[in-house]
Amino acid sequence: MLLSGLPNLITVARIVLVFPSAWLLWEAYYVEGLVLMTVAGASDAVDGWLARRLNAVSQFGAALDPVADKLLVASMFVIFALQGHLPLWLAVIVLGRDAIILSGAAVYRVWLGRIEFAPTKLSKANTAMQIATALALLLSLCGFGMLSEVAGLLVDPWGFYLLALLGVTSGFDYVFTWTRRAWREARS
């Protein structure tokens, strides 16, 4: 029984890691922040694997896992935008997209009841690009010589533009898909 709660415990620990990670980034301890982000990323893979392996997949864990991911990524985008390492317009797109999706989900839940999210391929690509952009930007700030230079070239400006395009496109995709689904549910 104890092992069945382990995946959720790991996810909660990942949420707790957001706070020291954000503080390290804010204070410009980028290498240390990278270490904590790496631990958080590894825990994301481990908790899902354990949940499947231990047959401990739960609705709580399924709901909490993306929240943990979004909190970590959102904190990075806010801090990097405030520090001037990332364009403010990009942070607004990334955070605005998620705010619109969450607002739409809340309205859907109130009007139509239970909601079960199934991320689209486009949304998964957007999330992967958010993580890749945030990590490449973090690497570029770590002072690892050539590695940091290459990471910086990958994100600024083309990685930023690609992420903005994916964010807007996947945001519209969610709005369209869930509006259509709500319309069908309301009619039936």
Tens of pLDDT along 39-90? 988 888 888 888 888 888 887 887 788 888 889 999 999 999 999 999 999 9
pLDDT value of position 2: 61
- For the segment 142-157, the average pLDDT, to the nearest whole number, is 94
Residue 118 has φ and ψ, to the nearest 5°, of: -135, 100
Q: Which tokens sit at 61?
A: 């864990």
Query: Does 125 score more than 80 pLDDT?
Result: yes
User: Cα angle vertex 33, ends 31, 36, to 5°?
Assistant: 115
- For the segment 155-171, the average pLDDT, to the nearest whole number, is 95
Q: Which residues, at least 6 apart from 171, have a Cβ–Cβ distance to it below 8 Å?
A: 96, 97, 100, 101
- For the segment 127-141, the average pLDDT, to the nearest whole number, is 93
- 3-state helix, strand, coil split of the chain in percent (to 5) is 85, 0, 15
Tens of pLDDT along 19-44? 999 999 999 999 999 999 889 888 88
118: left (phi over 0), alpha (psi -120 to 50) or beta: beta
How far apart are alpha carbons 20 and 8 in whole angstroms? 20
Greater confidence (5 vs 80) lies with: 80
Whether the model pTM is above 0.85: yes
Query: Does 1 score more than 70 pLDDT?
Result: no
Peptide bond into 157 cis (omega under 30): yes
Domain residue extents for the chain: 1-65, 85-188
Query: Does 4 score more than 90 pLDDT?
Result: no
Q: Which tokens sit at 24?
A: 């390290």
How far apart are alpha carbons 34 and 28 in whole angstroms? 11
